[in-house]
Structure 1
Amino acid sequence: MRRPVSHFHPVAGFESPAIGANGLRGARPLTATTGAERHAAVRELMRRAGVSGFLAVSTPDDMQGGDYLTGATGDWMGAMVYLPLEGEPFAFAPPDVATLLPAVVMHAMESAGMKFWVQDWTFGFDGVPEFCARLRDRINGPTIIGSANLSGSSLEAYLQTELPNLQFKPLDKEYARLRSIQGAEALNHVRSAAAASEAAAELLTKTVRPGVAEAEVTGSIRCNIGRYGIVIGDVGLGPYDGYGAPIAPGGFRTISNVGVSFDSRWRERGLMTRTLKRGQLVTSTVQCWSGGMEGRIHATLAIGGLSAGRQRAADRLEDTYHRACEIIKPGMTLSRINGAIASWLGASEPDAGLPYFRVLNPQIDHLRDDFELHEGMHVQLNPRLTAEGGMMSIGGGLLVTVGGCEELNIIPCKVQSV
């Protein structure tokens, strides 16, 4: 007989003061002070590059491309932001599937006291020509402006056709590096988000038990972590498992994802009441946001313990995690670290689909290969192995420091037996 599902049941005695230890609530946005600092940093980049403006575009590979300049945190794919060397910036955002219309979301956020760093916005399906016209008004004769996420796109071709006096100088890598090095205020939010994800890992160890419904576990995380003002994104999207995939041979189980999209939410509706069983591996991903900064964990729990074969795999995973921490430092590149992790795991090559190691804030999918680490970057380490038909995935966030790295998560960096 199934246990009744309780989505909003607080765990008795559970407290996580670390989430609010820095005095921040998760919903509080980055302030205008940070916005001014970021605009100044990008303008300094323009001066060094010899350009008179900068155009940032949000794309599927980098959905937060414009957020760095606007203060928005909605992953508005297709948004464009133009920051001139002198004068006020302006932006465009198309209707979005998730937010329906960014203008409505912006109004609601500003009503709640959140202020964007760009006040001049254009919205709508036909906003690109208007944005182009606004850009034309700013150009006097032949002009070179910097760009990010624009090269080779249809948008670039359109702008060059409409604005023949305009030339673009790609500054993708320079802009990515600038965005990846977090300021003091953003780092406070990174720590809040990391503390929330650590608390989620603790909740997993308390709630994952035989006979417990998946929805009860995910609901517990949303209830107990969300009360700190933390925004909870995905809960339980397992690597390679998709949304609500059936149990694989060997008893691998992924806690169901909650509402990533309308389709997955409806599919999950019939699967969330599945109950956990002894002998299963439960792998879970939890994403938490504070002030637009993400904290993410990958955790694996073995219900009833591990077999000898899976224990050997778990030992290799944990050894790989700690060895990787020793080489994460300024000057190392993503490809060198991913290659080392792959060799320690016994993989033939680094995982191209979902890297073992990447920059977490911001999430830029094409940031791989020779991208170099610098102090102040927030990164994620996530080694994975399959053993006896079950996937084991561990890891969390780290900050790159002067001589190495600082681990932000502890609990999810070891396979837990419950």
Structure 2
Amino acid sequence: MPRSLCATVAVAALLTGPQTGAPALAQSPGYQVEILAEGLNRPWGMAFLPNGRDIVMTARGGTLSIWRADTGAITTIDGAPDVAAAGQGGLLDIALAPGFADTGTVFLTWSGAVAGGTTTHLGRATLDPDAATLRDIEVLLRVRPAIDSPAHYGARIVIHDGHVFMGTGDRNSKAFGPDHIAQDVSSENGAVVRLALDGSVPGDNPLVGRDGAAPAIWSWGHRNIQAMAVRPGTDEVWLAEHGESGGDEINRVVRGGNFGWPLASYGVDYRTGQPFADPHRPGDGFVAPLYHWGPGRDDNFPPSGMAWVTGEAFAQWEGHLLVGNLRHRYLGLFPVDGDTVSDPIRLLEGRGWRIRDVAVGPADGFIYVLADGEGAPLLRLVPSDG
């Protein structure tokens, strides 16, 4: 059972300055780490309720719960969808619809079993936080085709401008060539999909009317999207996706863009250590990443969770990007200047936490972090200067 508490466990040293080429962060504050809850079982996604303090959380095993800021209590929500909780699958992301306070509408992603294997599901439902119930689950999209694999479901979602965006994965296909499923626009695997909030396909999606194409696709050529966020004050949807033994990327989503996987990549084959594609090059017809990691098993990032820093709590970090790191167990703070993304400052490094999700609290501007795995904590970073 998860345990809830609030304990300040450490104070980070003052950051000493920016990486080469980064916007100035020399006056960045130190921070303290508060443990808000422990014992979470493979948490994956989180969203703040309308009071800006309480958090609804998903766990891959199929559990939905609410962490209450005033008491620290964790309440399990009844009525979560049935999931295929194996490998990387299970109950994945959650986002509140606009007007949630009046309608209770939430969007969820999960891996589910269907004929032919498993696939990523996007659905919506009604959440009653007071009664701790979820009801009226409606599946809006089942990614096609289903595949007999427990990996690369993607499934991170954002709500923006009257639409729901979901990033999917390539289901770990090793067909490194033009026939790879991420290059097949008849399939939503390895893509960003875009639907209206009622689940319909918008008429301005780029592949609407194209014979054989999946009309929900907004962009394609992605490997495994597990981080996504809207840049504040813009219409830009940014994402981070896993590469193959390196080649992890930060991208700005482009309508109708082909991001190249696996025909353009900075990674190498896990099995052989050899390149399987050329890196992104001008004129290759693919959208190049804004930031990438080079080849080699020790240079990969495995991203999960993304948030832009806003508010006064960490004012010196305003407008910069937070991305969770799984393998190397830190929270990356990426300085961003326009389209220039610089090397990350490593927050929470050395504490042993794989970072699964990150969010900035709307009520306090503090940085909330979900770690990954069995017995994982919910954390909060607060400025050490108070």
Same fold (TM over 0.5): no
**TM-score range relative to shorter protein:** under 0.3
Query: How high is the TM-score relative to the length of structure 2?
Result: 0.26
Which has the larger Rg?
1
Query: How high is the TM-score relative to the length of structure 1?
Result: 0.24
Kindly indicate whether structure 1 or structure 2 has the higher relative contact order, using CA contacts under 8 Å at least 6 residues apart.
Answer: 1
Richer in helix (by share)? 1
